[in-house]
Amino acid sequence: MTDVSVPGGPTHSTWEPLPATRWEDAYLSGNGHHGVLVFGDPNDDRVIVTHHTLVRPNGAEHARPPQLAAELPALQDRLLAGDLTAAEEFTDGRPLQWVQPFHPAFQLRLRRPAGEVSHYRRSVDFTTGEVTARCDGWRSRVFVSRADDVIVQHVTAPDLTLDLAQDHQLPGAPTGLGVGHGTLLTPDGAVLTLRVRYPDSDRAYTGVTLAQVTGGTTRLTSAGVRIAGATDVLLLTRVRRHTGELDVVAETRALRELLSDRLPYDTLLDRHLALHRTAYTRVTLDLRAGKADSADNADNAEDSKDSERALPGTELLKRTRSPALLERLFAAGRYHLLSASGLLPPRLTGLWTGDWNTAWSGAFTNDANLNLQTASAASAALPEVTDALASLIHRQLDDWRENARAVFGARGVVAPAHTDGESGLSYHFSREYPLHLWTAGADWLLKPLVDHDETRGARDPRTAAALAEVALFYEDFLTSEHTEQTEHTERTDPDGHLVLVPSYSPENRPANASWGAINAAMDLSAARHALHTAADYHPGPDADRWRALADRLPPHRVNSEGALAEWAWPGLDDSYDHRHLSHLYGVWPLDEINPYDTPDLATAAHRALQLRGAENDSAHGHLHHALVAARLRDGERVAHALGQVLDGDFFHASLMSAHYPNRDVYNADAAHTLPGVLVEALVQSTPDRLVLLPALPAAYPHGQLTGVRTRFGAEVDLTWSPRTVTALIRPSRTHRVELRTSSGTEPLHLVAGEDRVLTLGAR
């Protein structure tokens, strides 16, 4: 039997017997700053280089939020008076402005004389981040160092002859780029530089590649350098986005300082592994593909399992119900999520693209996709991902304050629905997508940081400060007491509840009204959660005031079909066929609605989930559906949603995913969200509750999930079969929690440092 915990085993890697011909199939590596897409063709070896900061100026760098605060009271009055198209006029008339688009930097090309290729194999090792290709004595290895923030490539072959160049001519590159190349021979190789200035801008980026060559000769060519008769070539590459000129000499010197040994590839790799492998291996999933209950055929089952685990990725993807496929996608998802997170969290494309015309600008779509991609960060032990999200948030808080002031005339913060990673201002909106009206964003984006604090048992003062500002916004927005409005006004419903108006449910509209309405369920959940959570972080008079304000919010509404309504305002009808499930924020990721404490609301939420259509079959819609279904203990619905993605041909050979079926539009949503879905189906926790196997799909009757973190400060290893369930719990805090299993409920007393083993009966 293969031990899936062994680094580099078949579950923790993928491979192909043919080179990639599309950049979408290129294997990926990254350190959260730099990324690479590796084409392993030995006669034209290509490495596309990306960096999180590479966004093309398009006018959005100067965009500001609309100054609408003075018009807000009139809009609120019109909406409450029944004018359900009023929000369409709440704009300054600007056209839709997209955020600055993410783009690739260039590709390193290593061309060899044409020749036959045999015994070819390319692979990526998730435990190391290495992408390797080899054939007939030639080998190329590439990784992106988390320790030294450098792209490292090592090519070896007998009598190695190749042309090396930095090639900026990638698909979709705009006309008018100012491009400059530089090449300098050194005693042991060469330095190549590429400077690209954006059209009509003072902004640019520069790539520096240091080539260290062993043996043979190196000479200049018109495109770069030609290396002949060498045995080894080591390449170190960095990219810097900048304004004005970059000190290339200093960048080159910094790369040279890494070359303390003649060929330090293994030394650089070891430094990287101390960070990457440690993070990647914290959590593992083994679905024991093919394991039988009967000992009579156990050997054959294990042989079948190992043969499936050994398949190339493209072959395994055809076996859509294979546990081996789900194991590999779980591992690949963790790998790609970690690799894309550092300076920033993952974009819509993670950290990678091979085209300048990246869909939806390759932005951070905050109103759904970003939180879905990072769904497993706390539970699956990737604080690196949460730290990257926190970095994005805290750098943009000044912009969030400007959004609150400009649009709502309020103190505090309002998050934008889209960002390029630079600006956090709300300027991307239109009539059909009035994203500037979305007030739930700050709470939604801060929720993973709160989960992280609960998991580690300590409160980050930066998170506390941000939560206080969210609460201040709701004070002003709900009561108008401290806003720029001249009158103190509270808008309430006939029962005396405060009203959230205008209110927007991303990215949907009522069936009988326009965008921008009243009391969207997501806004209600966010306001309640933000006020109570800020109060928890800040005990005292502020906390009392915030809790009192939360208590004045209206309850959720159940519509005539028994479903949780997307708008808790009488007369607003639901639109069911939509990819977003914003109204079920109270179920996932919040714990506001659950089968244990609020069974009636959970039933209504489940009915809403049943009625929800898939609209355009986007991957994020299917997996968001699965996350909510897991919280509602519906394993069949989890399995169906997973099946829509697995059967829909969403995954490229790289095991990075697409936004639509049939590998249409390169996108990281499915790849990064899938691990979160599987963890939620197997283990759920709150600060006071542990739920084991809440929504296990029937197709996976055996398995083991190790290293899961809980929000009450314990690690859990879970092993299950049709006959028994075993949980090893390693608490770091003394606490009493409620244990929920299919057998019922019982109290669980945990003592810090004392492991507990729970053995339960049949599922």
Query: Residue 485 domain-assigned?
Result: yes
Residue 234 near residue 125 (C-beta atoms within 8 A):
no
Q: How confident is the model at residue 261 (pLDDT cuts 50, 70, 90)?
A: low
More confident site: 304 or 452: 452
Q: Is the pLDDT of residue 67 over 50?
A: yes
Distance CA 695, CA 199 (A): 52
Mean of all residue pLDDT scores within the chain: 94
- Paired sense of beta strands 689-692 and 284-286, if any: unpaired
Distance CA 694, CA 745 (A): 13
Cα separation of the two ends of the chain: 25
Q: How confident is the model at residue 481 (pLDDT cuts 50, 70, 90)?
A: low
Domain count, the chain: 2
Q: How confident is the model at residue 490 (pLDDT cuts 50, 70, 90)?
A: confident
The fraction of the chain above a pLDDT of 90, given in percent, is 91
Lowest mean pLDDT among 234-248, 313-327, 473-487, 531-545: 473-487
Lowest mean pLDDT among 66-70, 108-112, 303-307, 715-719: 303-307
The answer on 403 and 254 residing in a single domain is no
Distance CA 746, CA 739 (A): 5
Query: Residue 206 domain-assigned?
Result: yes
Query: Residue 73 domain-assigned?
Result: no
Residue 143 near residue 30 (C-beta atoms within 8 A):
no
Range of the domain at 27: 16-55+103-259
Distance CA 608, CA 708 (A): 30
The mean pLDDT value for 635-662 works out to 98
- What CATH number should be reported for the domain holding residue 484? 1.50.10.10
Distance CA 682, CA 258 (A): 44
Output the pTM of the full model: 0.95
| Residues linked to residue 491 through DSSP beta bridges, in sequence order | none
Q: Is the pLDDT of residue 483 over 60?
A: no
Domain closes at, from 259, 283, 299:
259
Distance CA 394, CA 469 (A): 12
Handedness of CA 513, 518, 520, 521 (dihedral sign): negative
Query: Residue 382 domain-assigned?
Result: no
Q: How confident is the model at residue 115 (pLDDT cuts 50, 70, 90)?
A: confident
Q: Which H or E element spans position 600?
A: helix 599-611
Q: How confident is the model at residue 695 (pLDDT cuts 50, 70, 90)?
A: very high
The token pair that represents 139 in the structure block = 């080998």
The token pair that represents 22 in the structure block = 């599309």
The token pair that represents 223 in the structure block = 């495109």
> 612: number of CA atoms within 13 Å, CB side?
31
Q: What beta strand segments (E) does 198-247 contain?
A: 203-214, 217-220, 224-243
Query: Residue 754 domain-assigned?
Result: no
Residue 214 near residue 232 (C-beta atoms within 8 A):
yes
The model's pLDDT over 559-611, given as tens digits with 9 standing for 90+, comes to: 999 999 999 999 999 999 999 999 999 999 999 999 999 999 999 999 999 99
The mean pLDDT value for 213-226 works out to 95
Per residue in 705-724, is it b (16+ CB within 10 Å) or e — as a string? bbbbbbbbbbbbbbbbbeee
Q: How confident is the model at residue 294 (pLDDT cuts 50, 70, 90)?
A: very low
The model's pLDDT over 567-581, given as tens digits with 9 standing for 90+, comes to: 999 999 999 999 999
Q: Is the pLDDT of residue 2 over 80?
A: no
Domain closes at, from 259, 278, 298:
259
Per-residue pLDDT at 118: 86
Residues in the chain: 763
Per-residue pLDDT at 102: 98
The answer on 565 and 420 residing in a single domain is yes
Query: Residue 39 domain-assigned?
Result: yes
Neighbours of 138 (CB within 10 A): 20
Query: Residue 277 domain-assigned?
Result: no
The mean pLDDT value for 346-363 works out to 98
The token pair that represents 194 in the structure block = 């590429």
Domain closes at, from 557, 580, 603:
580
Highest mean pLDDT out of 33-42, 364-373, 475-484: 364-373
Phi, psi (rounded to 5 degrees) for 238: -135, 155
Per-residue pLDDT at 486: 47
Q: How confident is the model at residue 5 (pLDDT cuts 50, 70, 90)?
A: very low
Query: Residue 670 domain-assigned?
Result: no
Distance CA 495, CA 450 (A): 32
Q: Is the pLDDT of residue 716 over 60?
A: yes
- 3-state per-residue secondary structure call for 566-589: CECCCCCCCCCCCCCCHHHCCCCC
Torsion (CA) 112, 113, 117, 121 in degrees, nearest 10: 0
- What CATH number should be reported for the domain holding residue 167? 2.70.98.50
Per-residue pLDDT at 80: 96
Neighbours of 511 (CB within 10 A): 12
The mean pLDDT value for 424-443 works out to 96
The mean pLDDT value for 223-232 works out to 96
User: What single string gives the DSSP state of each residue in 457-521?
Assistant: T---HHHHHHHHHHHHHHHHHHH-SSSSSSS----B-TTS-B---SB--TT---TTS-SSBS-BH
